[in-house]
């Protein structure tokens, strides 16, 4: 129903008032020009509807979304697949019977593993970007992961050879061989489907800790580290889904490939 505002803005009568001219509350005039009669009623009805209709309250979620985005990016880089072999060798030295090895030798081996599996691959990935073979060093595109997967498999294989040549137990070398298997599986799956390498890598750490818990003399604090690693795996998978890098199924598939590859390879003695 149109609102009659004539009582608030009465018509101005006078000798100079044109018969066909309306005041501000007439059907022809507005403050900014003429309004046709047929549109004036519609305009008033829209104004009333806008006034009476409840206006949706915009929730200020941008701050929380920025925090979630920042945390997801942070945890994705902290647990980048290339760093997982370093975490693995640290767990092996600190949580198994190999903690009796002199600290100097542990440090030297850890640096070699970091060089083979982290620094060298990162350098090669940056070179691939400079050559235009990949667009993003984060390797978020499915098609640009082929060469990095091959590099990762070779680095895991080099690590297995290195620890075996230094007299490490077979299960230590098999941990890195499990990384080779997971990388090759991811490589072939990636030809048709984008599987999560992050999930596969951290699931391999979980498999390592479970194998240590079952078959190797361990430190009492290993169970605590297992719980922490499982929690980090959940956070990492959630972060990859939050960032739209993977679907839930791609993350779950990564968990399955990484865990099974390392767990069953470490049965080889």
3-state SS, residue 96: strand
According to the model, what pLDDT value does residue 58 have?
47
According to the model, what pLDDT value does residue 22 have?
47
Report how far residue 265's alpha carbon sits from residue 243's, in angstroms, rounded to the nearest whole number: 32
Where is pLDDT greater, at 144 or 110?
Answer: 110
Look at the alpha carbons of 128, 134, 138, 142 in this order and tell me if their dihedral is positive or negative.
Answer: negative
Checking if the pLDDT of 156 tops 50, the result is yes
User: Residue 128 — pLDDT band, cuts 50, 70, 90?
Assistant: confident
User: Residue 49 — pLDDT band, cuts 50, 70, 90?
Assistant: low
User: Residue 166 — pLDDT band, cuts 50, 70, 90?
Assistant: very high
Checking if the pLDDT of 20 tops 80, the result is no
According to the model, what pLDDT value does residue 143 have?
64
Q: What is the percent of the chain with per-residue pLDDT over 90, rounded to a whole number? A: 56
Checking if the pLDDT of 33 tops 60, the result is no
pLDDT tens digits for range 182-227? 999 999 998 889 899 999 999 999 999 999 988 776 778 899 999 9
Helix (H) or strand (E) holding 163: helix 146-165
User: Residue 35 — pLDDT band, cuts 50, 70, 90?
Assistant: very low
Report how far Cα 153 is from the mean position of its chain's Cα atoms.
23
3-state SS, residue 34: strand
Report how far residue 33's alpha carbon sits from residue 55's, in angstroms, rounded to the nearest whole number: 29
Q: How does DSSP assign 74-91, residue by residue?
A: HHHHHT-GGGHHHHHHHH
Token pair for 26: 């007439």
Report how far residue 211's alpha carbon sits from residue 103's, in angstroms, rounded to the nearest whole number: 23
Q: Left (φ > 0), alpha (ψ -120 to 50) or beta: where does 207 sit?
A: alpha
Checking if the pLDDT of 114 tops 80, the result is yes
Checking if the pLDDT of 57 tops 80, the result is no
3-state SS, residue 171: helix
Where is pLDDT greater, at 51 or 180?
Answer: 180
Question: Where do we find the tokens 């760093």?
Answer: 83
Look at the alpha carbons of 33, 37, 41, 46 in this order and tell me if their dihedral is positive or negative.
Answer: negative
User: For the whole prediction, is pTM greater than 0.95?
Assistant: no
């Amino acid at each position: 129903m149109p609102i009659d505002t004539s009582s608030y803005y009465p018509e101005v009568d006078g000798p100079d008032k044109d018969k066909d001219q309306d005041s501000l509350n007439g059907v022809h005039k507005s403050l900014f020009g003429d309004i046709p009669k047929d549109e004036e009623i519609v305009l008033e009805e829209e104004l009333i509807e806008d006034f009476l209709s409840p206006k949706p309250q915009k929730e200020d979620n941008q701050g929380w979304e920025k925090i979630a985005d920042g945390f997801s990016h942070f945890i994705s880089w902290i647990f980048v697949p290339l760093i997982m072999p370093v975490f693995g060798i640290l767990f092996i030295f600190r949580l198994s019977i190999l903690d009796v090895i002199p600290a100097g030798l542990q440090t030297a081996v850890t640096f070699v593993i970091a060089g083979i599996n982290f620094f060298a691959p990162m350098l090669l990935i940056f070179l691939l970007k400079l050559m235009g073979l990949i667009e993003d060093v984060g390797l978020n595109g499915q098609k640009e992961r082929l060469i990095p997967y091959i590099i990762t498999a070779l680095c895991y294989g080099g690590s297995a050879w290195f620890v075996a040549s230094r007299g490490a137990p077979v299960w230590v070398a098999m941990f890195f061989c499990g990384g080779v298997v997971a990388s090759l599986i991811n490589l072939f799956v990636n030809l048709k489907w984008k599987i999560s390498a992050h999930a596969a890598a951290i699931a391999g750490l979980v498999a390592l800790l479970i194998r240590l818990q079952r078959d190797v003399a361990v430190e009492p604090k290993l169970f605590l580290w297992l719980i922490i690693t499982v929690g980090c795996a959940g956070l990492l998978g959630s972060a990859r889904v939050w960032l739209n890098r993977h679907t839930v199924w791609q993350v779950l598939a990564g968990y399955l490939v990484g865990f099974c590859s390392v767990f069953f390879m470490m049965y080889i003695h």
